[in-house]
Homo-oligomer: A and B are copies of this chain.
Amino acid sequence: MSEIGIKDIAAKANVSTATVSYVLNGTRNVKLNTRERVLRVIQEMNYKPNNAAQSLKRKRTNTIGVIAEDVTVFNVPEIIDGINDCADRMDMHILLTNLRLDKRIGREFDRMDSYRHYADNAVSELLSKQVEGIIYIGVHPRDLTGFIDTFGKPIVYTYSYTHHDLSIQYNDEQASYDAMAYLVQKGHTRIGIISGVMDSTPSRLRFNGFYKAVTEYELPFDPQLIKIGDWEAESGYRLTLELLELEQPPTAIVAMNDVMAVGVIRAASEKGVHIPKDLSVIGFDNREFSNYLIPRITTMELPLHEMGYQAMESLALLIKGEKVEKQPMPSCKLIERESVAAPRIR
């Protein structure tokens, strides 16, 4: 056990505890000779300064808290990884709290009161542990204004946002615009879109991008090509069937997530419509499975790592009391695979 303290080291090395501390922290010059002796004893006894005592005195913990709504949801680990990446470089440490929302309340995000206490507890605990700031990772982008109170401690949201605090989000509108541009460039003009539920922020942003592309590229605007899904594969399946039954079916479909893209593929294969020859599909999220489907789907990858990284960077600035200049939103990246081709000439 490490019940050895600084005075044990001091005693064994025949110096005062002050000297040991100076050696350890390089806070002051110590004669080479004694320094080496001290260092050797520390090594021998495997001494590790008690962090609790240190931060008590220093009034700094070099620690931030991360509250993850649920670490098992696909986007979260990669964001944490980005936070870690950045934190490592600036010698900051992370205290992770996992709210386990997905298991505890499922998808009912709108019933905030049913899970507010989990968040409150997490914040209390983190503040008590003297974190210097907090990063909050949502499982679905949405407005969290008024949800938690950090009592003045800096907080940065990612994959969610509030009206008052800093938040790191990716450029959803641009992503969907880019997906469209890519299809147009391949020669498509009749492009269908299957959205997520419409009261969700990403759905709306992505729809904006879609609409912007339709306008700028002067594509035929046909409301029949716009389908409102619910993020699940079944809706992708059902709505694709509807699209295929149109008098003039689309030559390409943008699905607002990979899960619904699976539905698209199922519907197409059932109807004997070949992807990508007869129908192109783009998904969103670059979920792990998108690379294993047949065909492997072309999809927009979310800049999760970068979001985590930026969140940590910004939080560090906030902690230092410096002004955080608005960084450009991280962009999604198109992962070209096998589900998109030029449309068949009819």
Residue in B48, B55, B71, B129 whose beta carbon sits within 8 Å of that of A80 in the complex: B71
Interface assignment of A280: CB less than 8 Å from any CB of chain B:
no
Interface membership of A124, Cβ < 8 A: yes
* A98, CB-defined interface residue at 8 Å: yes
Q: Given the complex, which residues of B lie within 8 Å of A152, measured CB to CB?
A: 1-2
Are A100 and B72 interface neighbours, CB within 8 A?
no
Give the CA-CA distance A71 to B76 in the complex, in Å: 10
CA distance A293 to B262 in the complex (A): 8
* Pairwise interchain contact A46-B151, C-beta atoms closer than 8 A: yes
- Knowing A85-B100, A265-B294, A294-B266, the reply to whether A72 touches B61 (Cβ < 8 A) is no
Bound complex: CA A151 to CA B70 (Å) = 33
Scoring A residues 241 to 283 as 1 if CB is less than 8 Å from chain B, else 0, what string do you get? Answer: 0000000000000000001001001100100000000000000
Q: Are A77 and B72 in contact (CB under 8 A)?
A: yes
From known contacts A48-B127, A128-B48, infer whether A151 and B1 are also in contact, taking CB-CB under 8 Å.
yes
A89-127: contact bitstring with B at CB < 8 Å (1 yes, 0 no)? Answer: 000011110101001000000000000000000001101
Do B56 and A53 have beta carbons less than 8 Å apart? yes
Once the chains bind, are A94 and B93 in contact (CB under 8 Å)?
no
A313 at the interface (CB under 8 A from B): no
User: When chains A and B are docked, how far (Å) is the Cα of A71 from the Cα of B78?
Assistant: 8
Q: Say whether A84 faces chain B, with CB atoms less than 8 Å apart.
A: yes
Cβ-based interface call for A147 (8 A)? no
CB distance from A62 to the nearest CB of B (A): 10
Given A151-B46, A293-B289, the answer on whether A76 and B77 have CB atoms closer than 8 Å is: yes
Q: How far is the CB of A195 from chain B (nearest CB, A)?
A: 19
The reply to whether B130 and A51 form a contact with Cβ atoms under 8 Å apart is: yes
A80 to B152 alpha-carbon distance, docked (Å): 30
- When chains A and B are docked, how far (Å) is the Cα of A88 from the Cα of B288? 30
Are B124 and A98 in contact, CB atoms less than 8 angstroms apart? no
Give the residues in chain B near A233, CB-CB below 8 Å.
292
A71 contacts which chain B residues (CB < 8 A)? 71, 77, 80-81, 84
Interface string of A36-69 (1 = CB under 8 A from B): 0000000000101111110110000100000000
Contact A51:B100 (CB < 8 A) given known A1-B152, A269-B294, A293-B292? no
Q: Are A51 and B128 in contact (CB under 8 A)?
A: yes
A2 & B151 in contact (Cβ 8 Å cutoff): yes
By a CB distance below 8 angstroms, the chain B residues around A52 are: 51-53, 55-56, 61, 129-130
**Chain B residues with CB below 8 A from A289, complex form:** 287-293
A–B pairs, 27, beta carbons within 8 Å:
A1-B153, A2-B152, A50-B130, A51-B52, A52-B52, A52-B53, A52-B129, A52-B130, A53-B56, A56-B56, A71-B77, A71-B80, A71-B81, A80-B98, A93-B129, A94-B96, A259-B292, A265-B294, A269-B294, A287-B288, A287-B289, A288-B288, A288-B289, A289-B291, A289-B292, A293-B293, A293-B294
Chain A positions within 8 Å of B, measured between CB atoms, are 1-2, 46, 48-53, 55-56, 61, 70-72, 74, 76-78, 80-81, 84-85, 88, 93-96, 98, 100, 103, 124-125, 127-130, 151-153, 233, 259, 262, 265-266, 269, 287-294
